[in-house]
């Protein structure tokens, strides 16, 4: 903010003329005083007049003065939301971020989606007509029965049938002339003069969705210019994708040499063995081996259709220079289309006039019917006409505007938690009376994610599979009291983790069966963390009685690497030190920037670290693979950040990952969880809980941590919102009048003092 001060301190041009005019000598003998008085008086009168006018305008206006939206939107069926971080990519081949999914999930439609209401999470068709069941083939491409052992399956074939009636949103890439030629596929720089946004193209068109569009997008995952984050993973599964990328690499380099950076690589010309069009509404994906989790990927935007016309349109010279790219202007078939893309201010989604139509689910959980979530069953989606996302970087203005009714729903930041949430006698969260009076309601859900503290299993002190190391890790795991952590640092929004699998994921067990016996006792029907004495006993057995190294007599020193720097993290890091101090262990926090932290993790030079994982899909494989040996961070550059390796766990993992959900799989998962609980490569941390507040005019909210395309289910009551906004935001003008009155009152002694000084003798 020093910039502001500097501007003020060094500036001053307009004032002299104004002051000189105001204070110019008057003809009357006492002109000086009267000059000052007249100017101030006139200014005061003018100010009062302006305020009066504003008051009258405000009283007569139907919109409150502090309404941040245009008056034309008052009473409109618009959903108002916010985003805190600017999206970087809106291309479905590149985007892998929740902030970006907020937008593209409403625009693109992959073959499948998650059922909005049912739990556990269940896949249902979206662009597809049904959830595909794979056919299995052996190495000679002979059909195998569905019950064939995974090791015999060389290929899984998914035939995906799509709905025949789906059309793309209106877009200039589809616009054609009377001869059927594309209007905007051969544009010169001159044609693009004055074009800065997609709306600057006058003509738009559309066409039916085809299976080829899905295949085209799968090919885009290997496009060398796109750097799709899942290419590495998918090249291990989709037949021929790896080779395809190499083929495209050389072709694309050659094209760029000839045509420059805006070269259009027409993927339709290059077939991919693992993704092929069968007919207009059917395409086939061939997967290497058995990979049942693949169907979950079919619910992600990576597998949504992209029309070749869009790539052709955006690849023309001059487009990228105008920020007109598929990465910024998506082209989809979903219920909404992006009509305003200003990531520094506002993103606007409008209803897609070509949307094929979808209906609100007619079934859910028994609780859904009781809570009114089935009241709109069978009604056509989407309910709102437009969604306005405003950039709100700071939580305080976001919260204030939510309370004023200018945002329809909000999370709960730590700053406003006490104002919004209280815990009942039974310990369940509920809104405070003040919130309830405003009609604000709370929805909660445990997320399919985990935050944990990990041990580097390659470390000499805390790592390894010796019994000594296990006891040391278990002792520390008991001492780090995550119940307290959740209470202090997450305002109670979390559930202590008993293992790697969070609630809502197959294999998670509730009650006594689900408790980690190495860390908890089952007391009075509740898990209770083992006493610190037990941790000290384990520590002594591990060779560190009282937390001291018997050879040196010095306290055991452990190093905790974290990317959490700055004053905000200090209390949390101090808390960690205190937990280790309970055992007499000295914890040294090594806080570095994220780059250095990543380097340490990749090289395996850390000892303890904190990490987290948000599920890609609701399958236990997506959590247990975080502990699979070949995925180790150091040796395999994988997601196993603890570098944990247990041959028995790895063997079970390989069996479990290819199995369908059932008793046998559950049994395997239980054995795996038992192994990692015993080995304790992580301090299990907690599963975060999502708290969402919404106003009375906001309907059908059910937190769904797997689905991102949920805006279409939300219904609002614009009339109630407009009424509430008016009631809550009546302008209060008297403080302004009071300030003016105070200033005028201060003038009187000022003028008297001025006159006295003017008349005083020089000495």
Partner 1 sequence: MIAYIIRRTLYAIPILIGVNLITFLLFFVINSPDDMARMHLGAKRVTSAAVEQWKHEHGYDKPLLWNEAADGITKLTDSIFYSKSVRLFVFDFGRSDEGRDIGYDICQRMWPSLAIAIPTLLIGLLVNITFAMLIAFFRGSSFDLSAMVLCVMMMSVSTLFYIIGGQFLIGKIFNLVPISGYLQGIEAWKFLILPVAVGVVSGIGMGTRWYRTIFLEELSKDYIRTARAKGLSERLVLFRHALRNALIPIPTGIVAVLPLLFMGSLLLESFFGIPGLGSYTIDAINSQDFAIVRAMVFLGSVLYIIGLLLTDISYTLVDPRVRLQ
- Does residue 19 bind partner 1 (CB under 8 A)? yes
Whichever of 64 and 604 has its CB closer to partner 1, that residue is 64
> How many CA atoms are closer than 13 Å to the CA of 313, on its beta-carbon side?
27
Nearest to 468 by CA among 533, 588, 550: 550
Q: How far is the CB of 329 from partner 1 (least distance, A)?
A: 12
Q: Under a CB-based contact definition with an 8 Å cutoff, are residues 705 and 351 in contact?
A: no
- Does residue 328 bind partner 1 (CB under 8 A)? yes
> What count of other Cβ atoms lies within 10 Å of the Cβ of residue 192?
19
| Rounded to 5°, angle at Cα 12 from 7 and 17 | 155
* CA-CA-CA-CA torsion sign (596, 602, 607, 611): positive
Instruction: Identify the residue among 38, 203, 379, 393 touching partner 1 (CB under 8 A).
Output: 393
Whichever of 320 and 377 has its CB closer to partner 1, that residue is 320
Q: How far is the CB of 461 from partner 1 (least distance, A)?
A: 28
> How many CA atoms are closer than 13 Å to the CA of 655, on its beta-carbon side?
13
For residue 599 the two structure tokens come to 């380097």
Instruction: Identify the residue among 129, 282, 354, 404 touching partner 1 (CB under 8 A).
Output: 404
Rounded Cα–Cα distance for residues 252 and 156 (Å): 30
- Does residue 348 bind partner 1 (CB under 8 A)? no
- Does residue 64 bind partner 1 (CB under 8 A)? yes
- Does residue 240 bind partner 1 (CB under 8 A)? no
91: which residues sit within 8 A by CB, 6+ positions away?
A: 226, 325, 326, 327, 330
Q: How remote is the C-alpha of 125 from its chain's centroid?
A: 24
Whichever of 213 and 392 has its CB closer to partner 1, that residue is 392
Instruction: Identify the residue among 177, 254, 467, 758 touching partner 1 (CB under 8 A).
Output: 758
- Does residue 752 bind partner 1 (CB under 8 A)? no
- Does residue 47 bind partner 1 (CB under 8 A)? no
> What count of other Cβ atoms lies within 10 Å of the Cβ of residue 368?
20
DSSP states of 39-78: HHHHHHHHHHHHHHHHHHHHHH-SS-TT--S-GGGTT-SE
For the CA atoms of 84, 418, 497, 508, the dihedral, rounded to the nearest 10 degrees, stands at: -80
Chain positions 492 to 521 lying near partner 1, rule: CB under 8 A, are none
Q: Under a CB-based contact definition with an 8 Å cutoff, are residues 684 and 519 in contact?
A: yes
Rounded Cα–Cα distance for residues 449 and 497 (Å): 10
Q: Which residue has the tokens 């399958």?
A: 619
Chain positions 670 to 699 lying near partner 1, rule: CB under 8 A, are none
Instruction: Identify the residue among 14, 178, 523, 761 touching partner 1 (CB under 8 A).
Output: 14
Instruction: Identify the residue among 271, 397, 531, 550 touching partner 1 (CB under 8 A).
Output: 397
Q: What is the DSSP letter of 189?
A: T
Stretch that binds partner 1, among 176-184, 393-401, 517-525, 649-657 (CB under 8 A): 393-401
Rounded Cα–Cα distance for residues 38 and 751 (Å): 12
Q: How far is the CB of 55 from partner 1 (least distance, A)?
A: 10
The helix (H) or strand (E) run that includes residue 575 is helix 570-581
For residue 612 the two structure tokens come to 């987290």
Q: Under a CB-based contact definition with an 8 Å cutoff, are residues 398 and 410 in contact?
A: yes
Chain positions 618 to 637 lying near partner 1, rule: CB under 8 A, are 637
Chain positions 72 to 131 lying near partner 1, rule: CB under 8 A, are 86, 88-89, 96-97
- Does residue 729 bind partner 1 (CB under 8 A)? yes
Q: Which residue has the tokens 């000839």?
A: 258
Rounded Cα–Cα distance for residues 631 and 633 (Å): 6
Chain positions 129 to 148 lying near partner 1, rule: CB under 8 A, are none
Instruction: Identify the residue among 149, 232, 550, 630 touching partner 1 (CB under 8 A).
Output: 232
Q: Under a CB-based contact definition with an 8 Å cutoff, are residues 89 and 228 in contact?
A: no
Instruction: Identify the residue among 392, 610, 619, 679 touching partner 1 (CB under 8 A).
Output: 392
Whichever of 282 and 605 has its CB closer to partner 1, that residue is 605
- Does residue 7 bind partner 1 (CB under 8 A)? yes
Q: How far is the CB of 376 from partner 1 (least distance, A)?
A: 31
Instruction: Identify the residue among 1, 29, 523, 533 touching partner 1 (CB under 8 A).
Output: 1
Instruction: Identify the residue among 49, 50, 146, 345 touching partner 1 (CB under 8 A).
Output: 345
Kindly tell me the number of DSSP H helices and DSSP E strands found in the chain: 24, 27
- Does residue 761 bind partner 1 (CB under 8 A)? no
For residue 302 the two structure tokens come to 């990576």
Whichever of 666 and 755 has its CB closer to partner 1, that residue is 755
Instruction: Identify the residue among 81, 156, 169, 390 touching partner 1 (CB under 8 A).
Output: 390
Site string for partner 1, 274-313 (x = CB under 8 A): ----------------------------------------
- Does residue 401 bind partner 1 (CB under 8 A)? yes
Q: How far is the CB of 368 from partner 1 (least distance, A)?
A: 31
- Does residue 12 bind partner 1 (CB under 8 A)? yes
Q: Which residue has the tokens 């028994």?
A: 366
Instruction: Identify the residue among 9, 178, 190, 523 touching partner 1 (CB under 8 A).
Output: 9
Cα distances (angstroms) measured from residue 296 to each of 279, 299, 321, 622: 23, 5, 36, 11
Chain positions 581 to 620 lying near partner 1, rule: CB under 8 A, are 593-595, 598-599, 616
Q: What is the DSSP letter of 514?
A: G
Stretch that binds partner 1, among 210-218, 265-273, 668-676, 746-754 (CB under 8 A): 746-754
Q: How far is the CB of 398 from partner 1 (least distance, A)?
A: 8
Whichever of 370 and 759 has its CB closer to partner 1, that residue is 759
SS3 478: helix
Instruction: Identify the residue among 400, 444, 605, 674 touching partner 1 (CB under 8 A).
Output: 400
- Does residue 65 bind partner 1 (CB under 8 A)? yes
- Does residue 8 bind partner 1 (CB under 8 A)? yes
Buried b (16+ CB within 10 A) or exposed e, 9-36: eeeeeeeeeeeeeeeeeeeeeeebeebb
- Does residue 16 bind partner 1 (CB under 8 A)? yes
DSSP percent split of the chain into helix, strand, coil, nearest 5:
40, 20, 45
Whichever of 5 and 370 has its CB closer to partner 1, that residue is 5
- Does residue 763 bind partner 1 (CB under 8 A)? no
Q: How far is the CB of 51 from partner 1 (least distance, A)?
A: 10
């Amino acid at each position: 903010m020093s910039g502001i001060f500097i501007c003020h301190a060094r500036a001053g041009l307009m004032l002299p003329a104004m002051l000189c005019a105001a204070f110019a000598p008057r003809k009357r003998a006492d002109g000086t005083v009267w000059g000052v008085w007249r100017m101030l008086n006139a200014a005061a009168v003018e100010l009062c007049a302006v305020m009066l006018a504003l008051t009258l305008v405000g009283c007569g206006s139907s919109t409150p003065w502090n309404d941040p939206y245009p008056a034309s939107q008052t009473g409109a069926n618009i959903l108002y939301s916010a985003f805190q971080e600017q999206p970087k990519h809106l291309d479905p081949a590149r985007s892998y971020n929740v902030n970006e999914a907020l937008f593209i999930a409403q625009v693109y439609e992959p073959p499948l989606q998650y059922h909005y209401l049912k739990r556990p999470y269940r896949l249902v068709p979206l662009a597809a007509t049904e959830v595909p069941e794979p056919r299995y083939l052996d190495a000679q491409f002979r059909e195998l029965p569905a019950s064939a052992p995974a090791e015999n399956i060389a290929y899984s074939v998914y035939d995906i049938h799509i709905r025949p009636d789906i059309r793309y949103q209106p877009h200039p890439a589809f616009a054609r002339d009377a001869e059927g030629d594309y209007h905007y596929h051969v544009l010169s720089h001159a044609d693009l003069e004055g074009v800065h946004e997609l709306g600057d193209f006058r003509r738009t068109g559309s066409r039916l969705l085809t299976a080829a569009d899905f295949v085209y997008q799968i090919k885009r995952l290997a496009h060398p210019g796109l750097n799709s984050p899942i290419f590495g993973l998918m090249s291990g599964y989709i037949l021929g994708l790896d080779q395809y990328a190499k083929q495209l690499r050389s072709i694309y380099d050659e094209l760029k040499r000839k045509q420059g950076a805006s070269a259009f690589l027409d993927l339709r010309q290059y077939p991919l063995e693992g993704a092929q069009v069968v007919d207009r509404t059917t395409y086939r994906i061939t997967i290497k081996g058995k990979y049942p989790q693949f169907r979950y990927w079919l619910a992600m935007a990576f597998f949504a259709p992209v029309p070749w016309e869009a790539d052709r349109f955006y690849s023309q010279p001059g487009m990228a220079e105008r920020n007109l790219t598929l990465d910024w202007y998506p082209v989809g078939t979903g219920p909404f289309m992006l009509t305003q893309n200003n990531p520094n201010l506002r993103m606007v989604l409008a209803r897609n006039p070509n949307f094929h139509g979808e209906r609100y689910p007619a079934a859910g959980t028994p609780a859904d019917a009781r809570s009114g979530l089935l009241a709109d069953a069978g009604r056509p989606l989407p309910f709102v006409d437009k969604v306005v996302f405003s950039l709100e970087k700071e939580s305080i203005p976001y919260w204030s505007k939510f309370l004023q009714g200018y945002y329809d729903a909000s999370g709960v930041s730590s700053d406003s938690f006490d104002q919004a949430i209280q815990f009942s006698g039974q310990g369940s969260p509920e809104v405070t009376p003040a919130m309830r009076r405003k009609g604000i309601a709370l929805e909660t859900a445990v997320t399919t994610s985990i935050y944990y503290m990990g041990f580097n299993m390659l470390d000499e002190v805390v790592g390894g599979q010796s019994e000594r190391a296990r006891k040391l890790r278990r002792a520390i795991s008991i001492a780090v009291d995550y119940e307290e952590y959740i209470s202090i640092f997450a305002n109670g929004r979390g559930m202590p983790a008993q293992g790697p699998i969070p609630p809502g994921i197959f294999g998670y067990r509730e009650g006594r069966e689900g408790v980690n016996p190495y860390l908890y006792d089952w007391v009075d029907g509740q898990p209770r963390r083992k006493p610190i004495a037990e941790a000290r006993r384990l520590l002594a057995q591990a060779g560190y009685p009282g937390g001291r190294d018997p050879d040196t007599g010095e306290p055991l020193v452990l190093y905790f690497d974290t990317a959490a720097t700055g004053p905000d993290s200090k209390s949390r890091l101090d808390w960690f030190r205190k937990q280790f101090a309970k055992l007499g262990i000295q914890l040294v926090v090594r806080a570095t920037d994220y780059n250095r932290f990543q380097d340490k993790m990749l090289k395996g030079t850390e000892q303890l670290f904190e990490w987290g994982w948000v599920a890609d899909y609701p399958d236990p494989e997506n959590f247990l693979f975080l502990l699979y040996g070949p995925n180790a961070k150091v040796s395999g550059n994988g997601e196993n950040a603890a570098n944990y390796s247990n041959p028995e766990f790895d063997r079970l993992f390989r069996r479990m990952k290819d199995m369908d959900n059932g008793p046998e799989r559950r049994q395997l998962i239980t054995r795996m969880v038992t192994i990692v609980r015993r080995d304790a490569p992580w301090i299990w941390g907690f599963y975060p809980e999502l708290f969402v507040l919404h106003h009375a005019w906001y309907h059908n909210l059910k937190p769904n941590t797997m689905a991102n395309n949920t805006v279409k289910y939300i219904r609002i009551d614009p009339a109630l919102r407009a009424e509430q906004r008016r009631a809550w935001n009546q302008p209060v003008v008297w403080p302004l009048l009071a300030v003016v009155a105070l200033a005028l009152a201060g003038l009187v002694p000022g003028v008297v003092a001025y006159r006295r000084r003017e008349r005083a003798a020089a000495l």
